[in-house]
Amino acid sequence: MSRPSLRERLKPVELVGFAAVLAVFTGGIALIGTRDLQLSVILAGVAFIVALLVLAMLALAAGEPADPEDTRPLQDRRDEERNRDA
């Protein structure tokens, strides 16, 4: 098994960072619009969680499968790999 590249290892940090930027932007817009700090912090937290979930789902959907010809469920492939290694 090969080691992941630096770009592959930093991908989660990029996703969390982008979600944080979106949360700060949302919190700033809410603070400007409402002048209520507590509400803007709450909206920023909600925006962070939603952005993180959406970005994670998009990252999973964009990933390439290991073998496009293999249509078996992932759990069956993992079980076969474990049996082969043992």
Q: Tell me if 33 is assigned to some domain.
A: yes
Number of CB atoms found within 10 A of residue 56's CB: 14
Q: Tell me if 25 is assigned to some domain.
A: yes
Q: Tell me if 80 is assigned to some domain.
A: no
Helix then strand then coil, % of the chain, to nearest 5: 80, 0, 20
pLDDT at 67: 60
Specify the pTM. Answer: 0.69
Q: Tell me if 56 is assigned to some domain.
A: yes
Count of domains observed in the chain: 1
List pLDDT tens digits, range 13-27.
Answer: 999 999 999 999 999
List the domain range (segments joined by +) for residue 60: 11-64
Q: Tell me if 40 is assigned to some domain.
A: yes
List pLDDT tens digits, range 19-72.
Answer: 999 999 999 999 999 999 999 999 999 999 999 999 999 988 887 666 666 666
